[in-house]
Amino acid sequence: MDRAGTADRAPDAGAAARGPRTPDRRGPRAAGAVCSLLRACHPGPAAAVTLLTGGLAVAAGRTGPGVLLVVAAVLAGQLSVGWSNDAVDAARDTAVGRRTKAVVAGAVTAGAVRTAAGAALALCLPLSFACGPLAGAVHLAGVGAGWAYNLGLKSTVLSWLPYAAGFASLPAFVVLGLPGRPWPPWWTVLGAALLGVGAHLANVLPDIADDLATGVHGWPQRLGRHRSGLLLPVPLVAATAVLAFGRPGPAGAAGPFAVAAAVIVAAGGALLGRTRPKVPFAAAVVVAAVGVVLLLRQGVATG
């Protein structure tokens, strides 16, 4: 007699029919959907703008919790603008075969991106106003400018305006949330607005041909690729000059050096761009970086 628990058992015919178990793939699928959704938010620009504004908050002397609140509000706003852009442009992107877009590639639906944009905007509202009523209103005006661009202004001669307004709102948002709600210095607001115009030209430049094919006739598209490429460094060099010399008091050696470097890089990019189309964009990125460094170095809390 066999010992208890050691007797032979009949094979489970049902298990044999079912075959070997397959691992549960819901986790990887969910992770893939989240990654695809993040791809649709324009993660590069969203991260750059968020980090820039966080740096401004640190330079303005905000406390740790205050910096985190600014970062959270700006990130929510940038996510809402990025997702709404891909949701609105889904049909155009499909028409020209932009497979790098998550919606066009079929990795995520336009409805899911639209829902994410609405959720991010809803989150942006309380986060912005938590920084103060006036600061929150200014930030939401900048976010609203981004939505206005996506919903139609991108196809007009004023396509540059939402970028200028959105970038200009960032230093104002940071400063107006400080104790006493001081007004932001004009040179930080103007310098940021000019950086925004340059960002608009840089963002549109690679896609001008596709935009024209799908009926988008904004300011850069009307200028054409060649003239837009030549114009691209101009607002960025102007921003560098404003940020270098706009602050009261002596500019020091850094200001003239920064402006000279911006002019040299911009001019070199324009000249080399005649034979190498990607060079003007790369030069514009370098000039924009100089402007951002100046903006962070100068700070935004004093006039």
pLDDT digits (tens, 9 = 90+) for 4-39: 444 444 455 454 445 455 455 555 566 667 888 888
Is 271 a residue whose pLDDT tops 80? no
Mean predicted confidence (pLDDT) in 238-254: 81
Are 142 and 197 in a shared domain? no
What type of residue is 214? T
| 121 part of a folded domain | yes
Are 162 and 208 in a shared domain? no
Looking at the structure of the chain, the number of domains it has is: 2
| 23 part of a folded domain | no
What pTM, to 2 d.p., does this model score?
0.83
The answer to whether the CB of 240 falls within 8 A of the CB of 258 is: yes
Are 176 and 39 in a shared domain? yes
The answer to whether the CB of 69 falls within 8 A of the CB of 131 is: yes
| 213 part of a folded domain | yes
Segment among 178-182, 234-238, 281-285 with least mean pLDDT: 281-285
Are 63 and 171 in a shared domain? yes
How far apart CA 121 and CA 157 sit, in angstroms, is 26
The answer to whether the CB of 73 falls within 8 A of the CB of 139 is: yes
Mean predicted confidence (pLDDT) in 172-189: 90
What type of residue is 174? V
Q: Which of 184, 218, 236 delimits the end of a domain?
A: 184
What Cα–Cα distance (Å) separates residue 290 from each residue in 22, 219, 259? 54, 25, 9
Residue with tokens 């049909």: 91
Are 57 and 163 in a shared domain? yes
What Cα–Cα distance (Å) separates residue 160 from each residue in 165, 208, 209, 210, 274? 9, 14, 18, 18, 25
Q: Which of 157, 184, 211 delimits the end of a domain?
A: 184
Q: Which two tokens stand for residue 99?
A: 């497979």
Return the DSSP state at 251: -
Are 209 and 297 in a shared domain? yes
In the prediction, which pLDDT does 59 show? Answer: 86
In the prediction, which pLDDT does 251 show? Answer: 64
Is 219 a residue whose pLDDT tops 90? yes
| 75 part of a folded domain | yes
Q: Which of 184, 211, 238 delimits the end of a domain?
A: 184
| 16 part of a folded domain | no
The answer to whether the CB of 182 falls within 8 A of the CB of 134 is: no
Domain that holds residue 191: 186-302
pLDDT-derived band of residue 2, with 50, 70 and 90 as boundaries?
very low
Are 144 and 180 in a shared domain? yes
The answer to whether the CB of 230 falls within 8 A of the CB of 267 is: no
Q: For 83-129, how does the pLDDT look when each residue is reduced to its tens digit (9 = 90+)? A: 999 999 888 888 888 888 888 888 888 899 999 999 999 999 999 99
Are 257 and 244 in a shared domain? yes
Contacts of 48 (CB under 8 A, 6+ apart): none
Mean pLDDT over each residue of the chain, to the nearest integer = 85
Is 75 a residue whose pLDDT tops 60? yes
Are 259 and 207 in a shared domain? yes
Q: For 126-168, how does the pLDDT look when each residue is reduced to its tens digit (9 = 90+)? A: 999 999 999 999 999 999 999 999 999 999 999 999 999 999 9
| 14 part of a folded domain | no
In the prediction, which pLDDT does 150 show? Answer: 96
| 1 part of a folded domain | no
